[in-house]
């Protein structure tokens, strides 16, 4: 099973993935956490670019889209193998849905993002944590160029459009960590039939 947590910077994906890891392990699952960008050489290049103020130009977003897609392919085999297993769960901090939501300016068509990510296995469940960008900014460190209010507003809207895809669900991330975690667990319980 390949479960993905998505949402704008500052929604709390990392915290919730840590809780989920413990909870799923206590239920007997073999759990592994994934993070995009990865720690591959391509991932390192991406992280370096994310603090560059020029990163939001059209061409740089196109370059970044290709880098994200290439970085993601380094996870392909692991994801494909785990999807077949009933007792193994991958919980991923982001997926190609991040590229759809973040690399969403006029110079990039969604079809092209789909194309360059065509060979990646699709998530079995995608949970989109939704939060007002003002609250999100308060929660993140603001060091990356994407961590600015207008960009996050646009990205949040991008995520809303993703809800039409199968196995994709939105959870309000405004309440306390424990309330949000409870909601996430409910959704996963339903998916796993436990
Ligand atoms: P993030 O989860 O914020 O990492 P960290 O908390 O370590 O900074 O991810 C890094 C940034 O990369 C984030 O702003 C979202 C962005 N991103 C994209 O723009 N497209 C993508 O395809 C992915 C995976 C991430």
How many whole angstroms separate alpha carbon 156 and alpha carbon 151? 9
- Paired tokens of 183: 């909601």
Which residue has tokens 């709390």?
A: 12
pLDDT tens figures, 42-60: 999 999 999 898 988 899 9
Pocket of ligand 1 (CB under 6 A): 9, 36-37, 50, 68, 93-94, 98-99, 102-103, 144, 146
- What's the rounded mean pLDDT across residues 63-85? 96
Per-residue pLDDT, 86: 85
Average pLDDT estimate for 93-98: 97
> How far does residue 68's CA lie from ligand 1's centre (Å)?
9
CA of 17 to the centre of ligand 1 (A): 15
**pLDDT value at position 145?**
76
Q: Is the pLDDT of residue 105 over 80?
A: yes
**Residue 35: φ, ψ to 5°:** -135, 135
Instruction: Render pLDDT for 126-164 as a digit per residue (tens, 0 to 9).
Output: 999 999 999 999 888 777 778 788 989 999 999 999 999
pTM of this prediction? 0.94
Which residue has the CA at smallest separation from atom 20 of ligand 1? 99
DSSP 8-state code for residue 123: P
What percentage of the chain has pLDDT greater than the value 70? 100
């Amino acid at each position: 099973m390949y479960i993905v947590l998505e949402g704008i910077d500052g929604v709390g994906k990392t915290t919730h993935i840590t809780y989920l890891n413990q909870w799923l392990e206590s239920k007997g699952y073999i759990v592994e956490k994934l993070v995009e960008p990865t720690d591959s050489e391509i991932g390192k290049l991406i992280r370096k670019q994310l603090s560059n103020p020029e990163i939001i130009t059209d061409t740089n977003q196109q370059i970044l889209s290709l880098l994200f897609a290439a970085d993601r392919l380094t996870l392909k085999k692991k994801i494909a193998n785990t999807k077949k297993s009933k007792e193994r769960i991958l919980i991923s901090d982001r997926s190609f849905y991040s590229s759809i939501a973040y690399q969403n300016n006029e110079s990039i068509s969604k079809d092209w993002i789909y194309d360059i990510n065509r060979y990646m296995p699709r998530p079995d469940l995608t949970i989109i944590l939704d939060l007002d960008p003002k609250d999100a900014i308060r929660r993140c460190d603001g060091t990356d160029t994407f961590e600015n209010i207008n960009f996050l507003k646009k990205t949040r809207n991008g995520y809303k459009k993703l809800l039409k895809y199968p196995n994709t669900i939105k959870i309000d991330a405004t309440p306390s960590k424990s309330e949000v975690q409870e909601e996430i667990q409910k959704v996963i319980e339903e998916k796993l039939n436990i």
